[in-house]
Amino acid sequence: MSIKDIAKNTWKALLEAPKKIVGAVEHGAKHFVREDTRLQNIDKYKDIVKQYEQQLDKSKEIVNRQIRKYNDTIPLINQKRRADFRDILEELYRFLLQLGKLAQNKWDFSFEMTRAEELGFLEERSLTDYKAWIMPYEKTESQVFDEVAKGLIIGYRIENGKWNEEIEKKCKEIRFATEGVQKKYASIAQQWQDRTFIAATYLECIELIHETITERIIPELELISAFLLAESVKNNIIANIPIENAKPLDISAIKGTIYGRHYTFVKNAFQFYILSRQIYQSPILTRLTQAEQSTSIYSNDKLLITQQKELLQQQSDVLCADIMR
């Protein structure tokens, strides 16, 4: 290195020195007015809000998974009802029509409903609130300089102290809310799990009913029909009534007789018919699980919060009165 270089470097260092000193003073001043603490706190706050958001996403996924499982069961149920139950309804109807009064065979099928996947609902509002809350506490460099230049250093320090406390307090609030969210959606996921259980059980049941009817009721129907007709004809012949207009035997008449077992069977068939009709026409599962009512759980939240707010208002009024005394 030549002397020129050394001189150049020394000159450069000399020029840097004031900047470094100013930097150090600035750093000290920033610490004194608690500026650096506030900026740290703002970063911490944003971190915590991000974690809150992440928890929301996680919880949403957990609930949606359960809802999907529920939704997967529904088409199976609907399919069974629509196709298979229609068939047995018609068979049973034809049989029973001969024997008693039935309503018309206009059966209106109604679908069991699925539940749409949920979005970020109540919590989305709180999330935007949290994100917006921190904004007044973020000041630009020029605003900070103005405050300090005004000479209100001590005042600014005290202000910053207050702000820091408020930010810390809000951080705690959000952290607690994160836990609350996790638990709330855990219980909602559980509810959907229960519903899936109900749906699966319902499917099992209607499969059982269908199987029973198909294999143990319907095969017997023709035989019984024929028998009852034959009996009626026999009776007509005995009673000398023309047999062309013979109708099957009155059911109530054979109750208690040696042919009573037919009575029982017909009654059973009828009961199965009624059951099947209800299964076909009514969205039993949907009504049971109230799947289409979307706000039942969440509306309670609003109610609870309003109640809580009133209670707190009462409490604070009492406290104020105490302090006055």
Partner 1 sequence: MEQSFEDLIRIRDRYALEERKMYINYATKLNSLTDEALRNNYVKQFGDACLQDIVGQMIRSFLPSADMYVTADQIMKRVVTFSYKVDYDPLKEQGAVRTLAYNYDEISGIAEFVNNPDFITKLKLDRGIYAGKSRSSLSDYRKKVLVDKKTNTVVDELTGYVRPDQIQEGNNGRTTASLEGDHKVPISEAAVNEEFTRNIDAYIAELERIYNDKDNIWYIDEKANNIKGDISNPEDVIKAWETAKPEQKEVLRQRGYLDENGKVPEHIKSKLREGVESSRKNINVDIDKAQLRNLDVRAVGKHGLKKTAAAIPKMAIGQLLYYMLPPIVYETKCIIISSKEKKLDPESIVAKLEKAVRRIMDYTMHHVGAMFANLAHNTAKNFVRTVFDLVIALLKSFLRHFVRIAKTVVLSVLDSIRIITQENSSTAEKADSITNLFVLALTNVLIEIAAEYLELYGVPSVVMEAVQVLVSVVASNMVFILMEKLDLFDVRYGFKITKLEQILADISKEYDTQYIELRDRTQEEIDVIKNEIRQQISEIQKNMEERDFYNEDVIEDVERINHLFDMNIGFQKEWETFILSPIQ
Closer residue to partner 1 in complex, CB, 89/285: 285
DSSP designation for 249:
P
Minimum CB distance to partner 1, residue 139 (Å): 19
Q: What's CA 110's distance to the chain center, in Å? A: 23
Q: How many residues does the chain have?
A: 325
Minimum CB distance to partner 1, residue 208 (Å): 6
Residue 257 CA: distances (Å) to CA of 4, 196, 251, 262, 267: 132, 47, 11, 10, 15
Closer residue to partner 1 in complex, CB, 114/266: 266
State the DSSP H helix or E strand holding residue 211, giving kind and residue range, or none if neither: helix 153-212
Minimum CB distance to partner 1, residue 101 (Å): 4
* Residue 54, helix vs strand vs coil: helix
Minimum CB distance to partner 1, residue 21 (Å): 23
Residue 276 near residue 91 (C-beta atoms within 8 A): no
Closer residue to partner 1 in complex, CB, 10/290: 290
Minimum CB distance to partner 1, residue 135 (Å): 21
Closer residue to partner 1 in complex, CB, 17/205: 205
Closer residue to partner 1 in complex, CB, 11/298: 298
Minimum CB distance to partner 1, residue 93 (Å): 12
Distance in angstroms (rounded) separating the CA atoms of residues 26 and 81: 78
Closer residue to partner 1 in complex, CB, 12/309: 309
Distance in angstroms (rounded) separating the CA atoms of residues 185 and 194: 14
How many C-beta atoms surround the C-beta of residue 149 within 10 A?
Answer: 9
Q: Give the CA count within 13 Å in the CB-facing half-sphere of 237.
A: 5
Distance in angstroms (rounded) separating the CA atoms of residues 169 and 173: 6
Residue 160 near residue 31 (C-beta atoms within 8 A): no
